[in-house]
Amino acid sequence: MKLIGFYDYTVMLTYLSTVFAMLGMVLASKGHFGAAILCLLGSGLCDAFDGMVARSKKNRTEDGKQFGIQIDSLCDVIAFGVFPAYLCYCMGVNGVLGMICVCVYALCAVIRLAFFNVLEGKRQQVEDGCNKYYRGMPVTFSSILFPLVYLLRGVVPCGVFVGILHGMLLLVAFLFILDVRVKKLDISKIFKKK
């Protein structure tokens, strides 16, 4: 039996990121917010290394490369678009204003990722290697920003914390689609032997 898709080591971290996100949403729905935040961090960690792992395979086919771009963004929609929005909803971002914030956040994440796919597809036609700059804030930054904001949960009153989550969703959504160039940190250089 043959399966469609690619299942080699180059995409396993991407798949694992989605598993963390799904587990995190289940935990959030049960009120286990600290564990859900750890799942968000796990998704971010997987995403930080998936590109480096994929580029380590020198004989990837063009279909394999294109699949990697697409599957990475589709999984990122779940892990860094839907999951943080749902987590915030579970922590009290609801009502009309909350639904606007949650929907705007998820929509901007999808727009950012689709725009990335268009740019990355064009870039890979003319150059090899990884991109040197981001355009707009990458959605994966939510795996750092939301856990940092979560640290405020025990420090500020509940109503203030929920207000901060509303503002955070809108701010991060705006940063996803703001057209600024940000130099990309090349993680692979950190792990190369000197």
pTM over 0.75, yes/no: yes
- State the pLDDT at residue 17: 96
Residue 1 placed within a domain? no
Residue 132 placed within a domain? yes
State the total domains in the chain. 1
pLDDT in tens, 167-181: 999 999 999 999 988
Residue 4 placed within a domain? no
Owning domain of residue 95: 9-191
Residue 21 predicted with pLDDT over 90: yes
Report the percent of the chain where pLDDT is more than 70.
Answer: 90
Tokens of 145: 């920003």
Mean pLDDT, the chain, integer: 89
Q: What is the pLDDT confidence band of residue 188, given thresholds at 50, 70 and 90? A: low
What's 24's domain CATH number? 1.20.120.1760
Tokens of 153: 């949960």
Distance between CA 158 and CA 49 in Å, rounded? Answer: 35
Residue 119 predicted with pLDDT over 60: yes
Distance between CA 136 and CA 128 in Å, rounded? Answer: 21
The partner residues of 37 in beta bridges, in order of sequence, read none
Residue 113 placed within a domain? yes
Residue 112 predicted with pLDDT over 70: yes
Residue 2 placed within a domain? no
